[in-house]
């Protein structure tokens, strides 16, 4: 009888995504390849300042090194699957395929005075907020620092080249918000590495005050952020001023109830002296009454903060309604009358499901 053959399936060799490496890590890699110390810095500048489209284009590197980089590393792993525009080209949503078939989305919003990108920090999200399309997907996986950074570089490269030929032309990104798919503090380490990479003055050099992170309210993440050296802006998704309502809308509130969230926020303010912003999505008949506006005012009174009201953007299958304009105004007035800075967020990209909380996507085959 013939002996049965067993075939061993080897894991395909996973090449390093060069955008996953920090400058010290890149320096280590170059050292291990026997390269002089300054090579890492040269590559870093090519990646983050020149936005080189290929290793071949890094003509200040020796040809042999360019070849080795091409053979053994990857200059990015995101595959552009779809690009959609709205608002006369001033809003642009890109769907990315990750190497394992999962997907994330990013959105560029051009205004007369700024070019803002909204970036994903996870594929899907585990937090399950009832009003959010991403929450309905569940968490697919955490994404890597490189996968976060690459989303940004794509838009920067195109703005630099032709401004996407949009009406409001900019030649660089002025603002970055981590408000796409996912909860940044649930992927803290990888997300933070991406912040350091984007902020690094030797590379991309995006100012801390031009970056904003939004959290569902993971108190340990807020505390950790207050110890970080890069002073980016913090937005906190509050959405309800009492535990009963907040837990119904946001399951995370059972783990970090309002008292704990506000204590962590107050600590953050005291430590950093920075104004935080509270986000409050307005859902008709759920959290938009004048009484709740009064409760909200009492909750945040005296804090160094700003309240950002967000008219809810439709999510398929969610049994919710956006508040009426009049109700939004009344809600805002309660806060303003009590001396609390409060604005209503202008919506963008609703027609292409690119607005806040509308990002959700299905895995894509290769």
**Residues making contact with ligand SAH (CB under 6 A):** 131-132, 179, 183, 214-216, 237, 279, 281, 310, 312-313, 315, 356-358
Residue with tokens 């535990």: 243
Active site residue 356: yes
| Contact residues for 173 (Cβ-Cβ < 8 A; gap 6+) | 115, 116, 117, 152, 155, 156, 159, 206
Out of 104, 119, 132, 354, name the contact with ligand SF4 by CB under 6 A.
Answer: 132
- Decide: is 217 part of the binding site for ligand SF4 (CB under 6 A): no
- Decide: is 253 part of the binding site for ligand SF4 (CB under 6 A): no
**Would you tell me the crossing angle of helices 38-48 and 23-32 to the nearest 10 degrees?**
130
Round to whole Å and give the CA distance between 320 and 188. Answer: 31
Identify whether the C-beta of residue 269 lies closer than 8 Å to the C-beta of residue 303.
yes
Residue with tokens 């053979």: 71
* Binding site partner of 315, from ligand SF4, ligand SAH, none, Cβ cut-off 5-8 A by kind: ligand SAH
Site string for ligand SF4, 220-239 (x = CB under 6 A): -----------------x--
Active site residue 105: yes
Out of 26, 125, 234, 249, name the contact with ligand SF4 by CB under 6 A.
Answer: 125
Tokens for 84, please give them. Answer: 């959609």
CB of 213 to ligand SF4, least distance (A): 11
Closest residue to ligand SAH, based on beta-carbon distance: 357
Stated as kind and residue range, the H or E segment containing 161 is helix 145-162
| Contact residues for 188 (Cβ-Cβ < 8 A; gap 6+) | 221, 224
Out of 90, 156, 183, 279, name the contact with ligand SF4 by CB under 6 A.
Answer: 183
CB nearer to ligand SF4: pick between 116 and 358: 358
Catalytic residues: 105, 356
């Amino acid at each position: 009888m013939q002996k049965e053959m067993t075939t061993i399936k080897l894991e395909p060799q996973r090449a390093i995504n060069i955008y996953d490496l920090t400058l010290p890590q890149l320096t280590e890699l170059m050292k291990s390849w026997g390269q002089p110390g300054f090579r890492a810095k040269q590559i870093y500048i090519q990646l983050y300042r020149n936005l080189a489209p290929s290793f071949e284009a890094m003509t200040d590197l020796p040809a042999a090194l360019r070849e080795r980089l091409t053979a053994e590393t990857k200059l990015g792993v995101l595959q552009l699957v779809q690009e959609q525009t709205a608002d006369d080209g001033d809003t642009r949503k890109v769907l990315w395929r990750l190497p394992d078939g999962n997907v994330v989305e990013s959105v560029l919003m051009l205004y007369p005075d700024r070019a803002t990108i909204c970036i994903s920090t996870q594929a899907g999200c585990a937090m399950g907020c009832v009003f959010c399309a991403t929450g309905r997907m569940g968490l697919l996986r955490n994404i890597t620092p490189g996968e976060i950074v690459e989303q940004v570089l794509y838009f920067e490269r195109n703005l630099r080249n032709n401004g996407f030929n949009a009406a409001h032309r900019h030649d660089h990104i002025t603002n970055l918000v981590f408000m796409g798919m996912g909860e940044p503090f649930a992927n803290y380490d990888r997300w933070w590495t991406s912040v350091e990479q984007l902020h690094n003055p030797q590379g991309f050099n995006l100012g801390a005050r031009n970056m904003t992170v939004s959290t569902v309210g993971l108190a340990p993440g807020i505390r950790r952020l207050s110890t970080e050296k890069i002073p980016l802006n913090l937005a906190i998704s509050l959405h309800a001023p009492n535990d009963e309502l907040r837990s119904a809308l946001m399951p995370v509130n059972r783990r970090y109830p309002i008292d704990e969230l506000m204590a962590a926020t107050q600590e953050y303010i005291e430590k950093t002296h920075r104004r935080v912003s509270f986000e409050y999505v307005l859902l008709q008949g759920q959290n938009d009454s004048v009484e709740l506006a009064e409760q909200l005012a009492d909750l945040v009174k005296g804090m160094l903060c700003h309240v950002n009201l967000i008219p809810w953007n439709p999510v398929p299958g969610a049994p919710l309604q956006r508040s009426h304009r009049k109700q939004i105004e009344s809600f805002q007035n309660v806060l303003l009358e009590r001396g609390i800075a409060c604005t209503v967020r202008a919506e963008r990209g609703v027609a292409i499901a690119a607005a806040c909380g509308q990002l959700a996507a299905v895995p894509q085959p290769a």
